[in-house]
């Protein structure tokens, strides 16, 4: 496939929401302010990561509940909630509540797998059931069923003055169509398509062991195509790409130097699959919007999508994020054919 001429339809950004352990409220306020800025700049959606026992957002649903009350239009997503830490029924209740309070703007992204450092945290997380917990796709399926209105109980009716429902309450009818899976392998991409979910594909993928070695962009393209082959909506199935993309149009010389140094320091990990999981990382993209637009149009993964959730670097300062978001919305987005809402 040659360079994509498909215009970018939806522009989003992703933040980890870092904070100082000695003053965590300040970092959470900064995240909310970035989401407010994103709405002012015309972004279509804002996404937050989730981190447990770290200095990043641990409760994205709570943060997005607050963001929903400070904004009116921008869509709000989680990228992603690792379901190994969650009870699907309780999470379904929280997601539906926040979706209704935000006016139907929530886009929950989830993933499965054993929680990170499970041996060290299992007794705190599942003191009585650690050996029985199921961290497979079935955990996602349970959440999907509850969000989509399938029965969670065998009982409904009235007991005294209490009225009970078989399905999770509240129920938000449109939320089931806005569930995303954070996939990094052909298997997970196909599975997400079969379930009728949307696909989040990031800057980290699993290097597939079958077939000849492929570069990151080609591997991402193959996974997106495999997802759509299985999805009921086919080519219309939603996919959002989440590369680290840093425009420098309005950056100061010091900011440009910092951004290029950041990308250079992380470049070696992109040269070969990393660790036992054989994870393949995409290079961070840094440059002017004109340069970035040219590189993205030549990217095989980008050629398959018309919406993005560009990831903000983890460790920058609030003023850096303001500059990056301003250039994403004011320069790079339009260079890719996007128009602000």
CATH, residue 84 = 3.20.20.30
Is 37 part of a structural domain of the chain? yes
Whether the CB-CB separation of 64 and 96 falls below 8 Å is answered with no
CA-based torsion, 150, 151, 157, 161: positive or negative = negative
Is 150 part of a structural domain of the chain? yes
DSSP state of 23: B
Average model confidence (pLDDT) for the chain? 96
Is 274 part of a structural domain of the chain? no
Q: Is residue 202 predicted with pLDDT exceeding 60? A: yes
pLDDT at position 214: 73
Distance CA 313, CA 325 (A): 12
Task: Tell me the pTM.
Answer: 0.96
Nearest to 17 by CA among 3, 4, 30: 30
Query: Is 33 in a helix, a strand, or coil?
Result: helix
| Range of the structural domain that residue 98 is part of | 11-249+306-335
Is 287 part of a structural domain of the chain? no
Say what percent of the chain tops pLDDT 70: 97
The predicted model gives 92-98 an average pLDDT of 98
Is 286 part of a structural domain of the chain? no
| Residues in contact with 328: Cβ distance below 8 Å, sequence separation at least 6, in sequence order | 11, 13, 41, 43, 245, 247, 310
pLDDT tens for each residue of 292-334: 999 999 999 999 999 999 999 999 999 999 999 999 999 999 9
Distances (CA, A) of 232 to 192, 197, 227, 228: 11, 10, 10, 8
Distance CA 193, CA 275 (A): 27
Q: Is residue 4 predicted with pLDDT exceeding 60? A: no
Task: Report H helices in the chain.
Answer: 24-41, 60-70, 88-101, 118-125, 137-147, 186-194, 216-230, 253-266, 289-297, 318-327, 333-335
Say what percent of the chain tops pLDDT 90: 94
pLDDT at position 208: 81
Nearest to 332 by CA among 247, 209, 273: 247
Burial of 229 (0-12, 13-18, 19+ CB in 10 A): middle
Distance CA 334, CA 128 (A): 53
| Residues in contact with 92: Cβ distance below 8 Å, sequence separation at least 6, in sequence order | 143, 146, 147, 152, 168
Angle at Cα 176 formed by Cα 159 and Cα 41, nearest 5°?
Answer: 125
Domain count, the chain: 1
Is 276 part of a structural domain of the chain? no
* Total count of residues recorded for the chain: 341
Is 261 part of a structural domain of the chain? no
DSSP state of 328: I
pLDDT tens for each residue of 27-43: 999 999 999 999 999 99
**218 backbone φψ class: left, alpha, beta (φ>0; ψ -120 to 50):** alpha
Nearest to 61 by CA among 44, 73, 79, 45: 79
pLDDT at position 6: 80
pLDDT tens for each residue of 208-255: 865 555 799 999 999 999 999 999 999 999 999 999 999 999 999 999
The predicted model gives 131-156 an average pLDDT of 98
Distance CA 145, CA 131 (A): 24
pLDDT at position 2: 40
Distances (CA, A) of 34 to 135, 328, 338: 33, 13, 20
- Write the DSSP string, 125-148: H-TTTTTT---SHHHHHHHHHHHT
Is 99 part of a structural domain of the chain? yes
């Amino acid at each position: 496939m040659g360079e994509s001429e498909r215009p970018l339809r939806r522009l989003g950004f992703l933040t980890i929401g870092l904070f100082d352990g000695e003053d965590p409220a300040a970092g959470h306020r900064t995240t909310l302010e970035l989401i407010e800025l994103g709405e002012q700049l015309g972004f279509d959606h804002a996404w937050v990561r989730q981190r447990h026992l770290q200095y990043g957002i641990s409760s994205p649903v709570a943060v997005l509940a607050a963001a929903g009350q400070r904004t009116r239009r921008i869509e709000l997503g989680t990228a992603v909630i690792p379901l190994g830490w969650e009870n699907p029924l309780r999470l379904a209740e929280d997601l539906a509540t926040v979706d209704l309070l935000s006016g139907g703007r929530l886009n929950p992204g989830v993933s499965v797998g054993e929680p990170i450092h499970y041996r060290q945290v299992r007794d705190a997380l599942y003191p009585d059931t650690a050996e029985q917990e199921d961290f497979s796709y079935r955990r996602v399926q349970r959440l999907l069923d509850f969000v989509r209105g399938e029965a969670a109980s065998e009982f409904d009716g009235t007991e005294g003055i209490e009225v009970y429902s078989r399905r999770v309450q509240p129920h938000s009818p449109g939320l089931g169509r806005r569930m995303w899976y954070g996939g990094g392998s052909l298997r997970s991409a196909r599975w997400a398509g079969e379930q009728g979910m949307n696909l989040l594909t990031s800057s980290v993928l699993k290097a597939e062991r079958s077939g000849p070695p492929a570069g990151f962009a080609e591997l991402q393209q193959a996974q997106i195509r495999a997802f759509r082959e299985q999805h009921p909506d086919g080519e219309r199935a939603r996919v959002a790409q989440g590369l680290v993309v840093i425009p420098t149009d309005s950056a100061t010389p010091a900011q440009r130097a910092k951004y290029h140094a950041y990308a250079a320091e992380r470049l070696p990990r992109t040269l070969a699959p990393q660790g036992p999981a054989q994870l393949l990382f995409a290079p961070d993209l840094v440059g002017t919007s004109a340069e970035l637009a040219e590189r993205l149009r030549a990217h095989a993964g980008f050629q398959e999508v018309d919406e993005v959730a560009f990831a903000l670097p983890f460790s920058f300062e609030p003023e850096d994020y303001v500059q990056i978001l301003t250039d994403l919305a004011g320069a790079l987005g339009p260079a890719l054919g996007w128009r602000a809402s």
